[in-house]
Chain A
Amino acid sequence: MSHRLPGGGRLIDRGRSCNFTFDGHVLQGYVGDTLASALLGAGRVMVGRSFKYHRPRGIIASGAEEPNALVNLGEGPRHEPDQRATTTELFEGLAARSQNVWPSLSFDIGAVNGLFARFLTAGFYYKMFIHPRAFWKHLYEPVIRQSAGLGRAPREADPDRYELLYAFADVAVIGGGIAGLQAARQAAEAGLRVLLFEQTPHWGGRAPVDGAQIDGQPAGEWVNSTVEWLEKQENVTMRTRCMGAGVYDHGYLLAQERLSDHQPGAEGPRHRLWRIRARRILTATGAIERPLSFAGNDVPGVMLASAMRDYLVNWAVAPGRRVVIVTNNDDAYRTAIALHEAGIEVPAIVDARAEVRGALPDRARALGLTIREGMAIDKVQGRAQVRGVTLCRHAGAGGAVAARIECDAVAMSGGWSPVVHLWSHCGGKLTWDAAQAHFRPDPARGPTDHDGAVFVQAAGAANGALAADAVLRDADTAARRVLADLDADAGQLPAAPQADSAPEAPLLPVWMMPEEAGYAHRSKMWLDFQNDVKVSDVQLAAREGYRSVEHTKRYTTLGMATDQGKLSNINGLGVLSQELGENIPDVGTTTFRPPYTPLTFGAITGEAKGALFQPLRRTPIDAWHEARGASWEPVGQWRRPYAYPRAGESRASAVTREVNNTRQHLGLLDASTLGKLLVSGPDAPRFLDMLYTGMMSSLKPGRCRYGLMCNENGFLMDDGVVARLDAQSFLCHTTSGGAEHIHGWMEDWLQCEWWDWKVHVINQTEQFAQIAVVGPNARKVLEKLGGMDLSAEALPFMGWAEGRLGGVDVRVYRISFSGELSYEIAVPAGQGLALWEAIFEAGQAFDVLPYGTEALHVMRAEKGFIMIGDETDGTVIPQDLGLDWAISKKKADFLGKRGMMRSHLQSPERWKLVGLETLDGSVLPHAALAVRPGQNTNGQRLTEGRVTSSYHSPTLGRGIALGLVHRGPERIGEVLNFAGDKGQEEIRARIVSPVFFDPEGERQNV
């Protein structure tokens, strides 16, 4: 059984213990523990169950590669599923629960799946659940959904804060082991701006655990002095708990810093996502040890040999009392020796190599350890915990058991795979290193940046240099290469430090143990521990014709779990290659995609949540609306009052009240959101003639004209009133949502097509508040304010004038979107609220009420005025809307002219704008379709029109609608059938003129 040793542990503080709970049991660890080391220290070997078969699962690794030890961490709103115990730092009060277990970890119903393992082979889901089709929706999917997933999703809003940080560097070094430290040091010495990130809380990586000596001192001391030096450098920024997550185009790098995971609730952000632009990225991300595939390699107590060494040296935790080592390389002997020296019994070192020579094995022999050469593990015995192993010859199919050894833990080592993820994310290619049986970065085919230069450089173990001396040499070379790349001064750089590493004998590639194991063994050899993919599954996929590694991955789900196959990919590839009879480099690897380990959504989101989710644009009069209890409507990013319901009043009745009051007395509308573009210059008249379908150059100063803008397809894009300010200047009003787009559209044509035209555009949308004063009393209230002559003679319909109103400089446009007498008053935004209040105050005598966007909509629909986005949808030309009058026939050219000449758009068969009145006076559903007999080839009803706007008209006391109908204007008086909301019933409506109210325009022209 795993346990804490009485002494040692370089990362724990024995003076400070920590209480934590696991599945509700109170346990104890130390400050400096990970949750994994604390669990092992407390004798907890089994920590979860696997995804498919619910097999007991123990901790297998000590870092980010851990596939098994995933827990539900935290409680309430800070609950988070799928947290790796190996990277979770212990803190007082930590609460963890095991996952994928029901009702409990030790007794789990789902484990029954294991009994049917024979039937749950690769592709089981694909094969089983295809037929019958109807079963999918009602039977398979609900059941699968219930049993799928590992951790429990949190149900409450995340209380924590997150942030982004944009950082820039000459060199970003990922990984704070000895390679990263050495590379960062050299870059710093050369005067470059350096970022250095380490994902764990500690600098130094494996070297201090492995006991290397650097420049004559223990690795740990070299690490400390190097870190101390780096911390003093102004040009170096370094962070622990910061994971290099992904490398992207043009030197873009993402890193996630975990600021308070180890002290939940601490002030400040929980995670910080670094968004980095680095000229060069150095990946010193180390290597990950591979498991060996033998029967029962998933039984709790079987661990990576290096992880066992980590637990022993870093946290003084022994994985068991009797540990068998199984290996194909020399490195695992370090574990054997460390365990032996810590007083743990090591009954055998099982080495697949026929002959084992070398410094480390010799040292093990000298310590009296038994090496079983050419041997393999036949089977691991035990279910929830290792009880022993049986051995057989590695060569051959096994079967004949050579020995049984009692033990409670097994340390396995199948060799090392460089962490090439970051190198590969942006297209870096790999080369197969046959001697070390791993893929490593191919320096000739690195990822390239905007200049076509390779911008990622791997260093140390991440580059395939595994022993400490090789690591430091390689890191130094990598750093010098980057310095040369960046033309940095490398003249005065200190020489690379020297490490002494015991020479290691070559490993023997082992993809299966024993070499020719039979099915019974192969179906108990786990490749992907989290997703329950075994050697037999990959072999089955190959036999069923899967040759591509990417297809095999998806068919078997190998490497598709939350660990993304950090332990399983190369082993799976080895098995697949063997089964296909091809070489590993020919089969190739799956694609490495970011992030390296999962990022939190919070970190990706940064500040953008709650009030900052997206910008909210407020008009200068917003506070008044808010105080009046406005019910809001989003218009683009603006918020505008939809209506101002009174206490106890519904929105619909508020709208009716606002329409009636405006038509009968006086209404005020905040129209500040309208786009206001100043277009000025000698060529402004001809420019606007090109932009609008109508003629703008003939507009007289002091006058306004309604205009349409089309895109080059001829489709209607925006509309609004243009006021000519003087000979060279126009103020173009756009729709509320359209100001930025139309501004950009104008700049596009001015900069990219007619760049010799002398025109300037200035977006003055936000310079002015705009107040629409509307209704029969509109003139009276403005006259009461005083300062300007706004009589029909002085300011006729479609005119504008500048002056002062109530002591404020204003520009008044005599335009109307309601059909009523109407003035739109533009005033500098800072005075918008004051003027609004002054008009409202003066309007008390004239029954003034504010009105919102819905009343605006209703009144414009009563008048048959179109609304961009309602009557248009990007496929409608002005002629469809009866706006032929707004298209100049005199102009040789304007944007959209050629487009709207196309035969389909000129066809008399098009759907065109009409008014619609239901026979029973009801309101047609929005977007309702007019149906006619017959079906199309998809079995859908044939249609002949659709509703584009539909309202209850308070003025007419009935439902009114605008719609596009096949040859509509020719069919006035006909009755159409509209499909109702609920499917069955049809609503009958008559085609009428789109102008429902005051067709002569007598009300606005007074």
Chain B
Amino acid sequence: MSDTATDLSTHRSLLRIERVASQGMIALRGGLGSAALGKGLRKATGLAVPGLREIAHDETGAFGVAWMSPDELMILTPPGVVHETIAQLHEGLAGNHATLADMSDARAVFALEGAPVRDVLAKLCPVDFAPEAFPAGAFRRTRAAQVAVAVWFTAPEAARLICFRSVAGYVEELLCTASAPGGEVGLYHR
């Protein structure tokens, strides 16, 4: 990922913060319980419909599916295959009430890495980031300061955060401020 990402952190930041350059993202709205949707999703991504507020990845990490709401998924794809994935999904969902939209350009993705990652996020989001309350595989939509975001953990000390594209600069500044040197909290990471 880092070959296409922009490193935003300074050498003394509490976290390594990168803006992920391109991430395929597809919004899928429809009845998540429908067999057609499950089948179509598996065919297009190899993944099943995730559980409530969960995110699932395939073994390579190339594809992912996140639970956004009771009738919405966010499908993560490699950047080059968005259109063919949408086409495949369309095919699988034909005849069902479902809506697909390419949202790859609508959002910005940040990769955060470092031991205090949960502490830094706790400065911005009103969410319990204790590992028991927020394990790997969980997916949470919330706010970071004044804007909507979604957060999940990709490793014990690594998280992803997405926001709308227009506020990427604001979120970048938030993350850099919250992880500036001297801001150690010692809440989740001692």
Contact = CB atoms under 8 A, between A and B. Distances in A.
Q: Do chains A and B touch in the complex (CB under 8 A)?
A: yes
Interface of A: 161, 163-168, 193, 237, 266-269, 272, 275, 277, 606-608, 611-612, 614-620, 637-638, 678, 680-682, 729, 758, 760, 762, 764-768, 828-831
A828 B180 contact: no
Contact of A615 (B29, B97, B170): B170
B146 A762 contact: no
Given A760-B29, A762-B99, 19 more contacts: A164-B123, A165-B123, A166-B122, A166-B123, A168-B128, A168-B130, A267-B181, A267-B182, A268-B182, A269-B182, A277-B128, A607-B174, A607-B178, A615-B167, A638-B166, A760-B98, A762-B101, A767-B104, A829-B106
Contact of A167 (B101, B122, B146, B178): B122
B185 interface: yes
Contacts of B180: 161, 268
A237 B187 contact: yes
A764 B125 CA distance: 24
A681 B97 contact: yes
Contacts of A272: 185
B166 A617 contact: yes
Nearest to B127: A166
A951 B119 CA distance: 52
A272 B182 CA distance: 12
A684 B65 CA distance: 26
A616 B22 CA distance: 22
A829 B106 CA distance: 7
Nearest to B108: A766
Contacts of B128: 168, 277
Interface in B90-114: 97-99, 101-107
Contacts of B147: 615
A98 B30 CA distance: 68
Nearest to B148: A740
Contact of A166 (B103, B125, B133, B169): B125
Nearest to A234: B190
B184 interface: yes
A450 to B, nearest CB: 16
Contacts of A606: 145
B7 interface: no
Contacts of A831: 105
**Chain B interface size, under 10 / 10 to 19 / 20 to 34 / 35 or more:** 35 or more
A167 B22 CA distance: 33
Given A607-B177, A829-B106, A678 B99 contact: yes
B99 to A, nearest CB: 4
Contact of B122 (A165, A608, A764): A165
B151 interface: no
Contact of A608 (B146, B164, B166): B146
A767 B146 contact: no
Interface in B119-174: 122-128, 130, 133, 145-147, 164-167, 169-170, 173-174
B131 to A, nearest CB: 11
A462 B83 CA distance: 65
Contacts of B186: 237
Contacts of B174: 607, 612
A607 B123 contact: yes
Contacts of B166: 617-619, 638, 766
A608 B145 CA distance: 8
Contacts of A618: 166, 169
20 contacts: A166-B123, A607-B123, A612-B177, A615-B145, A615-B146, A615-B147, A616-B167, A617-B166, A637-B167, A760-B29, A760-B30, A760-B99, A762-B101, A764-B101, A764-B106, A766-B164, A766-B165, A828-B102, A828-B104, A829-B105
A982 B183 CA distance: 53
Nearest to A758: B97
**Which 8 A-B pairs give the minimum distances between C-beta atoms?**
A268-B182, A267-B182, A617-B166, A829-B105, A760-B99, A767-B106, A766-B106, A168-B128
B27 interface: yes
Contacts of B167: 615-617, 637
A268 B184 contact: yes
Nearest to A237: B187
Contacts of B146: 608, 614-615
B103 A767 contact: yes
Given A165-B187, A766-B106, A678 B123 contact: no
A163 B29 contact: no
A250 to B, nearest CB: 13
A614 B174 CA distance: 11
Interface-central residue, B22, B98, B181, B185, by most chain A CB under 10 Å: B185
Contacts of A681: 97, 99
Contacts of B98: 760
B26 to A, nearest CB: 10
A803 to B, nearest CB: 15
Contacts of A164: 123-124
B99 A680 contact: yes
Nearest to B133: A168
A166 B134 CA distance: 14
A665 B107 CA distance: 35
A164 to B, nearest CB: 6
Contacts of B173: 611-612
Q: Point out which of B107, B133, B165 has the most chain A C-beta atoms below 10 A from its C-beta.
A: B165
B72 to A, nearest CB: 8
A783 to B, nearest CB: 26
Contacts of B184: 268
A606 B144 CA distance: 13
Contacts of A193: 130
A612 B147 CA distance: 11
Interface in B18-75: 22, 27, 29-30, 71
Q: Which of A164, A266, A277, A766 is the most central at the interface, judged by chain B CB atoms within 10 Å of its CB?
A: A766
A161 B182 CA distance: 10
A750 B101 CA distance: 19
Nearest to B97: A758
Nearest to B21: A830
A612 B170 contact: yes
Contacts of B145: 606-608, 612, 615
Contacts of A830: 22, 104-105
Given A611-B173, A830-B22, A167 B105 contact: no
A764 B127 contact: no
Given A269-B183, A766-B165, A166 B177 contact: no
A479 B10 CA distance: 45
Given A161-B177, A681-B99, A166 B126 contact: yes
A108 B165 CA distance: 60
B183 A163 contact: yes
A768 B124 CA distance: 28
Contacts of B104: 767, 828, 830
A268 B181 contact: yes
Nearest to A166: B126
A268 B183 contact: yes
A729 B99 CA distance: 9
Contacts of A167: 122, 187
